[in-house]
Structures are given as C-alpha cells and as structure tokens.
C-alpha cells in the first residue's frame, strides 16, 4: 500500500523533532486565555493538542480542510509522550486556561475524563452524521447521562508481528497463515511456540518476544473487564483474567523467552533496529513505529499473523473544550476528521485502524497491504481482529496508570529482581499508592 515508507518516516521524524517543545506546550500556550483559538477579521483560528502519531497532521488532512474552508486556520501541536501530555492537560483543565480548542484523549484516560471532567468538554451527541462508529467506541467516551465528549479516531485490534528469517532459523513455519495456526485460540500456545523457538533457534542471541508486558496487555484487553468493575470498584487483584495474564507473562519471563524490554521505553527501539527479538504483540498503530525503528535494513523480514485471540489495546478520541470561543467550528472539524473517508485515508497512509465501521468496510481498508511487512494484508488481518473485540469494555479512571504499573512489575521478574509473587505484591502496593 506504500504507506510504510517515506511518508511514515517523515511523520515520525516530525513528531520527534517537535517532541521536546510539545511536551511543554502541547496542551496550550502560556497566555491566560481559555484556549488558543478565536475569530478575527472573518478568519477562524482553531488550535489542536495531540500526541504520538495520530495521523491527523502527518497525512495532510489539516491542509486539506483549510483548502476546503479558506476562512479556517488550524494550528496543531504534537507531544511525543502521551503521559506527559496528559499530565499537562490535567493541569490546564484545572486552571481553565492554556488549553487547545481540540484535545486528543487516549483510551486509558477516557473514563477519568467522563467521570471528572465532563463539564469541561463539549457534547457531540447532537452532531449529525456521527452514527458510523463501532458501538463500543462511542460508549467509551460517553457519560452516564448521555453526553458524548469526543469522537473516535483509531482503535487497537491486535496481531502478532514476527521475523520470518528468525522463524526459519528456528525451524518454524514462516507463512503467516501457518504461523497463526501454531497459536490459534490460546495465548498459552504462543508461549509454547516460544519454547520451541528457543530450543530450535540457530543464529545468535535472539529472544522470542520483546516484552512480557506486551503479552500481558494483549491477554487482559481481550476481556470485557480488566481492572475495574462496572460500579467503578478496583478488581485487578481478584479478576481471574488479570491473574491468568500475569502468570502466563511471568512464565515467559522466567523461561527466558523475552528480551527484557518494555515497549516504547529505552532499549526497545535499538532492539528493533538490531533485531534482538523475533516477535512482538502488535496493535495496528504499532506497525508504523516498528517499521520506522527497525528501518529499511529489516524491510521484508517482518510479517504479521493473526493473534491467538481478539483484543483491543489503545485508541484515541478528539474532544472539544467547552470554553472554546470557536466551539462549533471545532466540533465541525472533529466530525470531519473522524468521518469514514478521513479515517480510511489515515489508515491508507500510516496504518491506524479506523473506529468507523463504515471505514472498516471500505476498499481502501479491506484491500490494504503493507510493503514493509512482507505484503501482509493488514486490512484483512486487523479488520477481522476488530470484529473479535468484546462489544463492551469496562473502563476505569486509572486504567493507563495501572497498565504501566503492571508493566513495571513484570520487568522486575524479567530482570531477576523479584519472584513473580514478590513482583505481584510490589505491583499491588504501587497501584494502591497511585490510585488511592
């Protein structure tokens, strides 16, 4: 599909280049205004605060909208790190100033926004033409009284990215359909394949998977409930799904199947570039990062296979600040940016899977292939995976924080700093301290 080449590299380079500045100003300027936008001399200025590679700025959509709406000027800033971005957003929301008219919201923050900041964001429930989203996507950003605080951008259906050359050296199948059969239906089979890989691999010091935490996330997000129940009570310590994921991930760590890395943390990018691991559990949005960091030298060595079970890891929304002086214009822009045509365009360019069921059914998505990942039919693979995601996922206020804490706990096992029971206890203490 030609999407994992020069455009993607430019997009990632752009995000990296503005990262240091965006971490500071990504949620708004230093003035005392509520937001940065406004109207003057017949011109409408709309400001946007985003993070990572959401595909909105990187794929030329903002320029297209400005061309179609000559009176609109859009100013977008992108922070490379979502955690720092969100911390700054919370500060700006509390102060009621320095915000952007449009703010990106990561799925792990959605519940906290709907429960504690609903009055700060505009309602999209009355916006026409927004009934094309997957039903569970809209529910994630909706309040109990029916307000919809944003519109969905992408989702994170899962697959497994793997190195064909390493599988061949380990005596394993390399064809993506045959690989998927090895672990079909059960994450335990994925770990068993890892044991076979470790026994059979000839060719250097290569781990089977990058991180135990990647496996943990994939398993946990395949269930309707993860860390909270529907009443908002913490259940991470009693939920069988969490304990199952913890134990299998700990098995992988203790058996030496991981490269002892944490995704998106120091060491992971060099691991991709240097080929220190053979597989990574990869939501759709991760493909752009892998192709960028693994680089041209590894093009065609990676492939994508169906995951053992369906799950959703990640995804974002665009919300509009209630106090924005250009609120209606900003809502119109958000509706356009998240419309099926634009979501399909973003997927075609950088691979972010649409949250629009209409876009998922479009030829641009269904027929898409990734040149970097050995021509993998990623539209079919991730589109099918999206249909396996539970219709309802119970979100909690501190989902993102808890996920990060579990990743840190599994890293203790990988590094040999704690047994699984000690790491579980430490993780629980950290969670209680972090979320109260």
CA distance 195 to 217: 20
| Residue 228 confidence (pLDDT) | 94
Q: How confident is the model at residue 27 (pLDDT cuts 50, 70, 90)?
A: very low
Q: How confident is the model at residue 117 (pLDDT cuts 50, 70, 90)?
A: very high
CA distance 292 to 283: 15
CB 153 within 8 A of CB 350: no
Identify the three-state secondary structure at position 86: helix
Average pLDDT over residues 209-222: 95
Is the pLDDT reported for residue 321 higher than 80?
yes
Sequence-distant (6+) residues with CB within 8 A of 284 are: 154, 155, 156, 157, 159, 351, 352, 353, 378, 382
Q: How confident is the model at residue 83 (pLDDT cuts 50, 70, 90)?
A: confident
* Structural domains in the chain plus CATH codes: 6-153+315-353 (3.40.190.10), 156-313+371-435 (3.40.190.10)
CB 306 within 8 A of CB 159: yes
Mind listing the pLDDT tens digit for each residue in 216-275?
999 999 999 999 998 989 999 999 999 999 999 999 999 999 999 888 788 889 999 999
CA distance 36 to 264: 31
CB 104 within 8 A of CB 77: no
Q: How confident is the model at residue 7 (pLDDT cuts 50, 70, 90)?
A: very low
* Helix (H), strand (E) at residue 105: strand 102-106
- Alpha helices, H only, 234-326: 240-254, 268-274, 286-294
For the chain, the average pLDDT equals 89
CB 382 within 8 A of CB 343: no
Is the pLDDT reported for residue 5 higher than 70?
no
| Residue 54 confidence (pLDDT) | 87
Regarding predicted confidence, which is higher, 17 or 404? 404
Regarding predicted confidence, which is higher, 74 or 12? 74
Residue with tokens 């909208």: 65
Mind listing the pLDDT tens digit for each residue in 372-390?
999 999 999 998 898 888 7
Is the pLDDT reported for residue 1 higher than 70?
no
Average pLDDT over residues 93-106: 95
Long-range contacts at 60-63 (CB < 8 A, ≥ 24 apart): 61/337, 61/342, 61/345, 61/346
Q: How confident is the model at residue 33 (pLDDT cuts 50, 70, 90)?
A: low
Q: Of 135, 188, 111, 53, whose CA–CA distance to 396 is shortest? A: 111
Query: What is the pTM (predicted TM-score) of this model?
Result: 0.80
Residue with tokens 């892998």: 290
CA distance 97 to 83: 20
Is the pLDDT reported for residue 20 higher than 90?
no
Average pLDDT over residues 326-335: 97
Sign of CA dihedral 137, 13, 205, 181: positive
| Residue 12 confidence (pLDDT) | 42
CA 152-156-159 angle, 5° bins: 160
| Residue 80 confidence (pLDDT) | 75
CB 279 within 8 A of CB 162: yes
Q: What percent of the chain has pLDDT over 90?
A: 71
Q: Strand (E) positions, 112-202?
A: 151-163
Mind listing the pLDDT tens digit for each residue in 288-312?
889 989 999 999 999 999 999 989 8
CA distance 342 to 361: 13
Q: Which two tokens stand for residue 168?
A: 């061949």
Sequence-distant (6+) residues with CB within 8 A of 306 are: 159, 160, 176, 180, 184, 381, 384, 385
Mind listing the pLDDT tens digit for each residue in 337-361?
999 999 999 988 888 899 999 999 9
CA distance 190 to 159: 12
CB 431 within 8 A of CB 236: yes
Average pLDDT over residues 316-343: 97
């Amino acid at each position: 599909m030609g999407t994992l080449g020069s455009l993607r590299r430019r997009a990632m380079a752009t995000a990296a280049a503005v990262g240091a500045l965006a971490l500071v100003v990504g949620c708004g300027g230093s003035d005392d205004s509520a937001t940065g936008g406004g109207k003057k001399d017949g011109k409408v200025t709309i400001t946007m605060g985003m993070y990572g590679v959401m595909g909105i700025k990187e794929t030329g959509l903002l320029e297209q909208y400005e061309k179609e709406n000559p009176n609109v000027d859009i100013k977008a800033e992108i922070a490379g790190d979502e955690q720092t971005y969100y911390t700054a957003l919370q500060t700006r929301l509390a102060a009621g100033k320095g915000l952007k008219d449009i703010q990106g919201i990561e799925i792990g923050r959605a519940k906290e926004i709907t429960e504690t900041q609903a009055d700060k964001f505009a309602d999209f429930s009355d916006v026409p033409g927004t009934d094309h989203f997957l039903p569970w996507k809209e529910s994630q950003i909706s309040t109990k009284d029916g307000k919809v605080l944003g519109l969905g951008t992408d989702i994170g259906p899962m697959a497994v990215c793997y190195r064909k050359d390493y599988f061949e050296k380990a005596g394993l199948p390399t064809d993506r359909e045959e690989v998927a059969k090895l672990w079909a239906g059960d994450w335990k089979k994925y770990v068993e394949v890892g044991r076979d890989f470790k026994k059979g691999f000839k060719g250097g010091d290569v781990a089977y998977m990058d991180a135990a935490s990647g496996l943990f996330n994939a398993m946990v997000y395949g269930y309707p409930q993860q860390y909270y129940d529907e009443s908002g009570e913490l259940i991470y310590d009693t939920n069988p799904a969490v304990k199952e994921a913890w134990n299998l991930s700990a098995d992988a760590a203790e058996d030496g199947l991981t490269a002892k890395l944490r995704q998106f943390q120091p060491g992971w990018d060099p691991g991709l570039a240097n080929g220190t691991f053979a597989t990574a559990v990869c939501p759709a949005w991760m493909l752009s990062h892998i192709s960028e960091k693994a680089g041209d030298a590894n093009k065609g060595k990676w492939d994508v296979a169906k995951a053992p079970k369906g799950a959703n890891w990640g995804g974002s929304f665009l919300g509009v600040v209630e106090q924005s002086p250009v609120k209606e214009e900003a809502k119109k822009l958000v509706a356009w940016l998240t419309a099926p045509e634009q979501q399909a365009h973003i997927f075609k360019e950088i691979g972010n899977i649409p949250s629009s069921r209409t876009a998922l059914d479009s030829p641009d998505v269904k027929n898409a292939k990734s040149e970097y990942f050995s021509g993998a039919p990623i539209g079919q693979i991730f589109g099918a995976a999206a249909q396996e995601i539970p219709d309802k996922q119970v979100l909690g206020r501190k989902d993102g924080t808890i996920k990060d804490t579990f990743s840190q706990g599994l890293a203790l096992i990988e590094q040999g700093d704690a047994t699984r029971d000690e790491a579980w206890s430490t993780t629980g203490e950290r969670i209680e301290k972090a979320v109260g």
